[in-house]
A and B are shown apart, each in its own frame.
Chain A
Amino acid sequence: MNVWVYVQGSKGAPTSASLELLTKARSLGDVTAFVGGDGAALAEAVGQHGAAKLYATGDLGGRLPGPAVSAAMQAVIEGGDSPDLIMFPQSYEARDVLSRLSVKLGKTVLTNNVDVAAAGGAVTVTTPIFGGNTLVSTTFTGDGPFLAGFRPKSFAAEPSGGGAAEVVAAAVPEVGPTGAAMVVATHVEETSGPKLDEAAVVVSGGRGLGEQAKYELIETLAKLLRGAPGASRAIVDAGWVPYSYQVGQTGKVVKPGVYIAAGISGATQHMVGMKGSKNIIAINKDKEAPIFGIADLGIVGDVHKVLPKLIEALQSR
């Protein structure tokens, strides 16, 4: 089977979600990577993770990737190199490319997947629903290329020891008015400490903190544990912390060694982003809160009492 993986670059390296998909793709068949942007800097890492060939569009000159990159992919496919399956990491950029390509090729797309299997040409993907307590398997029908989006951290990234991938230019055809959206400025929201989706410890706060100023407790605790601070959507929507802190279905997927949820109820959309954590500690004053259903250690109590004491105990060590 021929599998393409959409690779996204960030600061000159493939994102971890891209490497996870390359690793999985290797177990399904021959792997080719496709990047919307410059290929040269990524060729080494992409090759090490199992792709022999890397199609690259080259710099997009400020255009949003969706229309341009999907058109480049379509051109390669219609030019004769057609894969059976294309795997996309579910990032902002890749989701746009995936959706546009689906219309261009007239193919269905399946998103939110956490697993994929291939048997005798049939491709089946697995998607968690209801906050992850039920798994639905869906098989593509008709002819490929089958298009599938995967949640980050669905697979472990492991190098295969291959050499650098061969970079092949994939030209971007004229896309007309659909390609008219241009990036005029880029803003990076700096956070200190480890990245939320890579940290070994994540401490998240929710509406139970009561007010924005109390989020400081979360930041202090995260720092003491050399972890990253996170948040439920309720307090992101309330403007207490930036969107980049959000854990859950529309935020980041995290799988740290320890996840501490303080004043978070445990809505299905939150749990889907943190259920894979090795150990979960929850602090909530409502003993019926759903978060206790998945906690390894649950403290039924007031965050304003438990957190200051916990911080003090850690500071005095």
Chain B
Amino acid sequence: MNVIVCVKQIPDPALPGALDSSTNTLKRDGKLILDESDSYGVEMALQLVDKAGGGEVSLVSMAPNGEVSGLRTALAMGAAKAVLVSDPALQGSDALTTARVLAAAVGRIGGADLVIAATESSDGYTGTVPEQLAEVLGLPSVTFAKHVEIDGSTLKASRQTEDGYDEVECPLPALISVTAGVVEPRYPSFKGIMAAKSKPVDTVTAGDLGVDPVGWAGAGQQISDVAKAPERAAGEIVEDDGEGFAKIVSFLENLKVI
């Protein structure tokens, strides 16, 4: 069984985010890392291929600046190869363009039995790319998949709903999006890290894949304003001296909650 995982490479979320003042988009010029959200997809793919007893995990990623460090992390976990679509023209691409580019990258690998993405990325979190990608590829999909099993050529997944979850069945090939916590992502071993250095990363431009227009030209949107949200007034902060609970009680009394 062959699985393709979408991996987004993002600025380190531990660092404060900033907007580029000329374009009003998130700054993505520094070193990028593997989005933690996608580490769950990589782990799930590795486990599914392992269980199937054959096949491989491939990666697709789109980044404007040729970044591969996030991909290397996923390769070190055990993925076999990657297609990176990188092109300065991709800057400013919207979710729809991203989905079209990723679909072309999936096509370059030659398709797969299963495509996996995260439910939403940590930096952009539009949450639409996976389902858009499924539509461009003409695949059925199960978004918000919590538990996934492959039974022959059928995908069996439990899917998060507002009230609980649904059991969903779907023939392969298909696409799923997964949330954090579905599996425990492995840490790359030393051997894995060494091996990742020589695994193939096929770097192409959007033009090579025949996707056009991309970037600002393809986006049906324009940022018109950036403003500070009204701040909440600072409240009262007290150290607990054993009587902190009483502060809460009188606060609730004042509000007539109790």
Contact = CB atoms under 8 A, between A and B. Distances in A.
A19 B132 CA distance: 26
Interface string B172-192: 001000011100000000000
Interface of B: 17, 19, 24, 94-96, 99, 119-120, 125-132, 134-136, 138-144, 146, 158-171, 174, 179-181, 219-229, 231-232, 234-240, 242, 244-249, 251-252, 255, 257-258
Interface stretch (A43-51, A126-134, A206-214): A126-134
30 contacts: A15-B162, A66-B143, A98-B128, A99-B128, A100-B134, A103-B99, A107-B220, A134-B228, A135-B226, A138-B221, A139-B224, A141-B221, A141-B222, A142-B220, A177-B139, A178-B138, A179-B140, A186-B166, A186-B167, A189-B165, A225-B252, A225-B257, A243-B179, A299-B244, A299-B245, A299-B248, A300-B239, A309-B244, A310-B248, A313-B246
Given A66-B131, A103-B96, A137 B168 contact: no
Contacts of A260: 248
A181 to B, nearest CB: 4
Contacts of B159: 64, 92
B94 to A, nearest CB: 5
A313 B143 contact: no
Which of A91, A111, A233, A239 has its CB near the most chain B CB atoms (within 10 A)?
Answer: A111
Contacts of B143: 66, 92, 95-96
A182 B220 contact: no
A134 B231 CA distance: 10
A216 interface: no
Interface in A262-317: 275, 279-281, 283, 287, 292-302, 305-307, 309-310, 313-314, 317
Contacts of A92: 143-144, 159-162
A130 B11 CA distance: 14
A98 to B, nearest CB: 7
Interface of A: 10, 15, 64, 66-67, 70, 90-92, 95-96, 98-100, 102-104, 106-112, 124, 128-130, 132-142, 149, 176-189, 200-201, 225, 233, 236-239, 243-244, 249-250, 257-258, 260, 275, 279-281, 283, 287, 292-302, 305-307, 309-310, 313-314, 317
Given A184-B169, A257-B255, A313-B246, A112 B131 contact: no
A234 B225 CA distance: 33
Give the secondary structure class of B's interface: mixed
B232 A294 contact: yes
B240 A306 contact: yes
The 3 lowest CB-CB distance pairs between A and B, nearest first, are A301-B240, A108-B220, A99-B131
A295 B120 CA distance: 28
Contacts of B223: 136-139
Given A95-B127, A139-B224, A187 B248 contact: no
Contacts of A141: 219-222
A153 B218 CA distance: 31
A100 B132 contact: yes
A239 B182 CA distance: 10
